[in-house]
Structure 1
Amino acid sequence: MKRLMLFTLLLLGTTCFLSAQVEKKVQAKIDQVIVYPIGAQLEYIADFQAQAGPMTLVIPNLIPYIDQENIRVVSDHNFSIVNVQVSTDYLKENPKSDEIKQLRKQIEELTNKIEDEELMIKLNRDKIDFLNQNKQLSGKNDPISPENFKQMNQIYGSNLEALTLDIQKRDRTVKKYREELEKLHNQMATLTRTPSAPSGVLTLTIQAKANKSSKLSFSVYTSFASWYPSYDIKFVGFDKPLEITYYANIKQQTEVDWDQVSILLSTAQPQLSAQIPTLYPYFLSFIGYGSGGGAVSSMNRAAAVKGEKVTPTFDFIQEFTSDGDDEIAIIEEPVTSRFSQMEIVKEYKVAARQTIPSSPKPMLISYGETKVDASFEYQAVPKLSDKVYLIAKIHDWKKAELASGVAKLFMENSYVGESRLNTGQYQDTLQLSFGVDHNVIVKRERVENYSEKTIIGSNRRENASYKITVRNNKSYPINIVVYDQIPISKVGEISVDGVDVNGGKLNKESGKVEWNLNLNSNEMKVVTLKYTLKYPKDKQINHY
């Protein structure tokens, strides 16, 4: 009997609790988005009227496929959060339904206008047929006086002209309407072709303290968004710094448009799970080397030892053979973003709120401007090209917070091309080419009276001489670096002797020759390059 009474009391209490719990649908909007190189954190806000006691808040129309581990809910002081549940709504109405209805209305209105115009064209053509028929009947039975003929001709001519011009005008109008109608049909096909994506639903059980207006905020993480930087770099003068404009290329495919949101760009690699990572023992060992040089990364060591060929997703693969028979691949770690994991995390606030639609096409947004000091010089490789290039050297480029990406280059207001920045090169100086300057001339010529071939015994001796002429046609002095080369022999029977670089700097290992020249306005300088080749007379070499 006591058990029956206890069960009845528990049942009544549960029923009262459930009947007292209020369920309310709350609409949340995205207020801020933190965009990472891969992924984004969406911060929602919502206002609702709290009622004292237990409540259930249902928040629909969120991004789909929310991971419950990556959601964070913040309450104000009026309520506490009891439970958080995430679900997916596959039956939601197409978010483009209002746009589809508007398009259908426009299509109907435009179709009616076309029908009205075509009806008037038909009526005008019937009138012209009527005039032509009356013109042919007039005068067949009774003679027409000259005065009547003149009057009938004026009536016919004026009516025919007005009707013909009206038909022409309406034909043009119908053509214009049909072009607009085709665009509307194409837009309608685009909207109805794409199936409606599901939406996320957040269900919160809360305990409110009082009946009052309350605020709720929560953040969710999505991997369907990314950003990478690009730049406009403008040269405005040799005595002035480079002007840099920073752009973020933001792409988001969350199936929800970001409407007038605050954007924060981050270079971090987010790990938003609440689960703390496990720290495993860190064992030191020697890095294995093969006869070809290089190291095998730890993540592929097992495959390398077994002789399996590793195919990673990056640009550089070098293979070599170890002391044994195993084939080993040298692996660089795959790059997951344009930001190095060794860099300090940076954040950039976009000044104005932005609207970024869900689309596979990136959206370009400016997030800053700066000026950076640079030195300028001209460079030329006359053996390969008769063009002279203006090169900017940014010595302290890290202060400009540049990351690897594409830079559009401008000479004052003229676009000269693109250059890919590689900030992972670990050099103190970053070089940018601003294209060809046609006011600096370089010319490389073979000196024929020195360049000759002779046979001495079993060997052939070939003298080579080149003259390089540089002229500055600009109105101010310049510095130019000219590059050429001496051939290098890797065969014992071929020797390179009598090298004369005329004051240039020779790298004996690579054969590269460098002349650093200062030229005043309208000044010309000449440098020469000489060397002698010796090789067996019965053989030919690839000298050019």
Structure 2
Amino acid sequence: MTATSTIYELETRDQKINQVKVFTDRAEVRRHVKVALKAGVNEVILKNLSSKLISGSMRVEGRGNATIHDVVVKNVASLKQESDSPKLAIIRATLQEEKARLQNIEDRGSVVQKSIENLDKVFGQVGGGLVNPPKEGGVSLNEGTLTSLKNLFDFYGTNSENYREKLRTIEVEHRQQQEIVKKIEQEIHQIQNNFHMNTLTQAATITLECVEDAEAELDIIYQVHNAGWSPSYDIRVDTEKPSMQITYFGKIRQHTDEDWNGAPLVLSTAQPCLGGRIPELGTLEAVFRSRHFEIQYSTRQSATSGLFGSASPQQATLFSSSSAPPPPPQPMAVAVASEVTQNTLSTEFKILRDATIPHGTNDHKVTIGIVTLTPKLVHETVPSKNASAFLTASAVNTSDLAFLSGDSSVYLNNAFVAKSHLKNVSPGERFSCSLGVDTAIRVEYKPAKKYHEEGGYITKHSANVTEQTISIKNTRSEQPVLLTIKHHVPRSTDEKIRVKLVAPSATPYDSEKGTNETENTEPAEGAKFNSSNNLEWTVKLAPNSSQDLVIKYVVEHPKDETVQYHEKF
């Protein structure tokens, strides 16, 4: 670099964040940098980049009469204080203050300790001069001497007691201050461990050239690991209206060693980790295996560029001085907390409120939208597994939001009932949500009646008959209930095994019609087989009524064979 280069050193964390686009496994940060360039070559150095920076992900865009010649990211040596985050810098300053207080306490304790030692020394010298006999052998004790001794003892007792009391107080204060210092040192140590701090940090050097002095604006865009988002939902069902309100949240985690302060957020469903290149398929050749050598297969791999690359001298980028600024955010609409953009391969949710998400955040919730639907409340039971009736809300997603697979908290009439999981639901698709057990619907699974028959004139065969009775009762006095009973009917895997449903009369599964219907279609009264060959029998229970449902089927097979039943999912 020539001697005429102008160098600008900037702290990355001090540059304004224009946008953070959070993917499911990473985040893309866009920071805005303003710099006054000098004519000639300029170097803008961004210090203390995130340690989670993804290699090769940085790119630079901007506006102004200048040309980007180079973008280089490298490790540079630094002192710990130089790479401190704002929070850590404040804690270090606090530690220095507390250490100064500790030293002050130690100094006061030394003064008091010296005072006690000197007092003891003076008391010994003066007292010895008063009571020790003179060299001639006589003892001089008179009223004056006794008065002096009394005054000496009083002086020593009072001052010695005061000094020792001060020393004990100072010792307590010293221990407390030591604990404060130790706590702050542990906090610094913990932060350093979390941030993996060392003497090396990453810095980006952006080389620019302009013909004359000019103001330039740079957009620094880079990706970081240890960040992502996942959907979650609050589903509130009101059985009186009925209505279903779904609050769609995005849960953000952030461990990128940098803070996102006042950041406009975009949540994206794109998955950059999967790449965008179709794998190549070579020719598979069949040959005889040789005993002398092993055939080597090689797969030709072509270099795949990342989503973001650094500018190079051969691909210099010219700023456009007429670039339009980003459009202002739209005002928040009623019951919607984000703008939805449907791209070819992904969906983006632009959160309409800026957020501050510090490093170390595991569960920062932002609202994507609120959807109100009109559900159909149905009851389902699988009595062979659990003799309970489960209330289910079935609804069509009439909103423009695509619900992604995520955890949900379900509330029924403002009471929390369960943690559940919502599957992917596209706009216009029907879905269902379990609301828990309805104790007003009683289900009794009675012991099955099983008996064996034999027949046939030429070829003897056996028939196993199973008759299952299920008693159901609606104890509600004000409204009827639509209840679907799901039950096994064996499916034959051998032409010698024949299964016949005697009761009830059920509609067979239509594979062509089934592919065109959603899995969670609204149930209708009657019996039918589903795609798993299970019986689904839907009945309507009037208030304060009960029914006995009988499921009967026959399994025929050769007499000398034994049929076993295996449940497969």
TM-score range, shorter chain: 0.5 to 0.7
Contact 1:442 1:471 in 2 (8 A): no
Contact 1:26 1:48 in 2 (8 A): no
Output one character per residue of 1:333-372: Cα deviation in whole Å (capped at 9) or x when no partner.
Answer: xxxxxxxx99742111122222223338353333322223
Quote the residue 2:75 is aligned against.
Answer: 88
SS at match of 2:471: strand
Q: CA deviation at 1:540?
A: 7.8
Q: CA deviation at 1:219?
A: 1.2
Give the Cα separation in 2 of the matches to 1:305 and 1:402. Answer: 50
Give the Cα separation in 1 of the matches to 2:222 and 2:484. Answer: 54
Contact 1:75 1:81 in 2 (8 A): no
TM-score relative to the length of structure 2: 0.60
Residue 519 (1) aligns with residue 541 (2): yes
1:486-497 superposed matches below 5 A:
486-488=489-491
Give the Cα separation in 2 of the matches to 1:498 and 1:193. Answer: 67
| Partner amino acid, structure 1, of 2:472 | T
Quote the residue 1:60 is aligned against.
Answer: 47
Give the Cα separation in 1 of the matches to 2:285 and 2:251. Answer: 37
**Given the superposition, is the C-alpha separation of residues 88 and 385 from structure 1 closer, same or farther in structure 2, using an over 3 Å criterion?**
same
**Given the superposition, is the C-alpha separation of residues 34 and 386 from structure 1 closer, same or farther in structure 2, using an over 3 Å criterion?**
same
Contact 1:34 1:41 in 2 (8 A): yes
**Given the superposition, is the C-alpha separation of residues 347 and 496 from structure 1 closer, same or farther in structure 2, using an over 3 Å criterion?**
closer
Quote the residue 2:5 is aligned against.
Answer: 21
Residue 501 (1) aligns with residue 523 (2): no
Quote the residue 1:246 is aligned against.
Answer: 248
Contact 1:100 1:191 in 2 (8 A): no
Give the Cα separation in 2 of the matches to 1:356 and 1:49. Answer: 30
Q: CA deviation at 1:33?
A: 1.0
Quote the residue 1:358 is aligned against.
Answer: 359
Give the Cα separation in 2 of the matches to 1:512 and 1:455. Answer: 24
| Partner amino acid, structure 2, of 1:101 | R
Q: CA deviation at 1:106?
A: 8.2
- Aligned counterpart in structure 1 of residue 478 of structure 2, from 472, 475, 480: 475
1:41-440 superposed matches below 5 A:
41-64=28-51, 69-93=56-80, 94-96=83-85, 97-101=88-92, 104=95, 187-194=187-194, 195-196=196-197, 198-208=200-210, 214-237=216-239, 239-270=241-272, 344-359=345-360, 361-396=362-397, 399-423=400-424, 428-440=429-441
Q: Which has the higher contact order (CA 8 A, sep 6+)?
A: 2
- Aligned counterpart in structure 1 of residue 19 of structure 2, from 32, 50, 53: 32
Q: CA deviation at 1:271?
A: 8.7
SS at match of 1:191: helix
Contact 2:530 2:536 in 1 (8 A): no
Q: CA deviation at 1:456?
A: 6.2
Output one character per residue of 1:217-274: Cα deviation in whole Å (capped at 9) or x when no partner.
Answer: 221233443222222222123644421112222233332222221111122244999x
Aligned length: 418
Give the Cα separation in 2 of the matches to 1:433 and 1:207. Answer: 63
Output one character per residue of 1:175-216: Cα deviation in whole Å (capped at 9) or x when no partner.
Answer: 999998886565344224443154332222333565565433
Q: CA deviation at 1:422?
A: 3.0
Output one character per residue of 1:114-148: Cα deviation in whole Å (capped at 9) or x when no partner.
Answer: 99xxxxxxxxxxxxxxxxxxxxxxxxxxxxxxxxx
Quote the residue 2:139 is aligned against.
Answer: none
Quote the residue 2:511 is aligned against.
Answer: none
Contact 1:245 1:366 in 2 (8 A): yes
| Partner amino acid, structure 1, of 2:529 | N
Output one character per residue of 1:22-76: Cα deviation in whole Å (capped at 9) or x when no partner.
Answer: 2222344233111222332211112334444433222212224756753332333
Give the Cα separation in 2 of the matches to 1:530 and 1:279. Answer: 53
Give the Cα separation in 1 of the matches to 2:274 and 2:550. Answer: 63
**Given the superposition, is the C-alpha separation of residues 472 and 212 from structure 1 closer, same or farther in structure 2, using an over 3 Å criterion?**
same
Give the Cα separation in 2 of the matches to 1:521 and 1:110. Answer: 78
SS at match of 1:61: strand
| Partner amino acid, structure 2, of 1:351 | L
Ranges in structure 2 where 5+ consecutive residues have no aligned partner: 107-172, 290-341, 507-525
| Partner amino acid, structure 2, of 1:513 | L
Give the Cα separation in 2 of the matches to 1:492 and 1:470. Answer: 40
| Partner amino acid, structure 2, of 1:464 | E
**Given the superposition, is the C-alpha separation of residues 73 and 441 from structure 1 closer, same or farther in structure 2, using an over 3 Å criterion?**
same
Q: CA deviation at 1:410?
A: 1.8
Output one character per residue of 1:400-451: Cα deviation in whole Å (capped at 9) or x when no partner.
Answer: 311122222221322222333332899943222121111222222247xxx4
Contact 1:226 1:251 in 2 (8 A): yes
Contact 2:440 2:476 in 1 (8 A): yes
Contact 2:52 2:256 in 1 (8 A): no
Contact 2:269 2:348 in 1 (8 A): yes
Contact 1:381 1:484 in 2 (8 A): yes
Contact 1:472 1:519 in 2 (8 A): no
Give the Cα separation in 2 of the matches to 1:246 and 1:99. Answer: 37
Percentage identity across paired residues of the two chains: 21
Contact 1:497 1:533 in 2 (8 A): yes
Give the Cα separation in 1 of the matches to 2:97 and 2:500. Answer: 84
Give the Cα separation in 1 of the matches to 2:442 and 2:430. Answer: 26
Give the Cα separation in 1 of the matches to 2:97 and 2:285. Answer: 63
**Given the superposition, is the C-alpha separation of residues 223 and 529 from structure 1 closer, same or farther in structure 2, using an over 3 Å criterion?**
same
SS at match of 1:44: strand
| Partner amino acid, structure 2, of 1:512 | N
Q: CA deviation at 1:541?
A: 6.7
Give the Cα separation in 1 of the matches to 2:344 and 2:220. Answer: 29
Give the Cα separation in 2 of the matches to 1:21 and 1:360. Answer: 41
Give the Cα separation in 2 of the matches to 1:476 and 1:411. Answer: 18
Give the Cα separation in 2 of the matches to 1:364 and 1:304. Answer: 56
| RMSD value, Cα | 4.9
TM-score relative to the length of structure 1: 0.62
Give the Cα separation in 1 of the matches to 2:4 and 2:500. Answer: 101
Give the Cα separation in 2 of the matches to 1:364 and 1:380. Answer: 35
Give the Cα separation in 1 of the matches to 2:556 and 2:227. Answer: 63
Give the Cα separation in 1 of the matches to 2:70 and 2:274. Answer: 20
Output one character per residue of 1:67-100: Cα deviation in whole Å (capped at 9) or x when no partner.
Answer: 6753332333354434333222342534254244
Ranges in structure 1 where 5+ consecutive residues have no aligned partner: 1-16, 116-172, 283-297, 308-340
Give the Cα separation in 1 of the matches to 2:204 and 2:491. Answer: 71
Greater displacement, 368-377 / 75-84: 75-84
SS at match of 2:486: strand
Q: CA deviation at 1:465?
A: 4.2
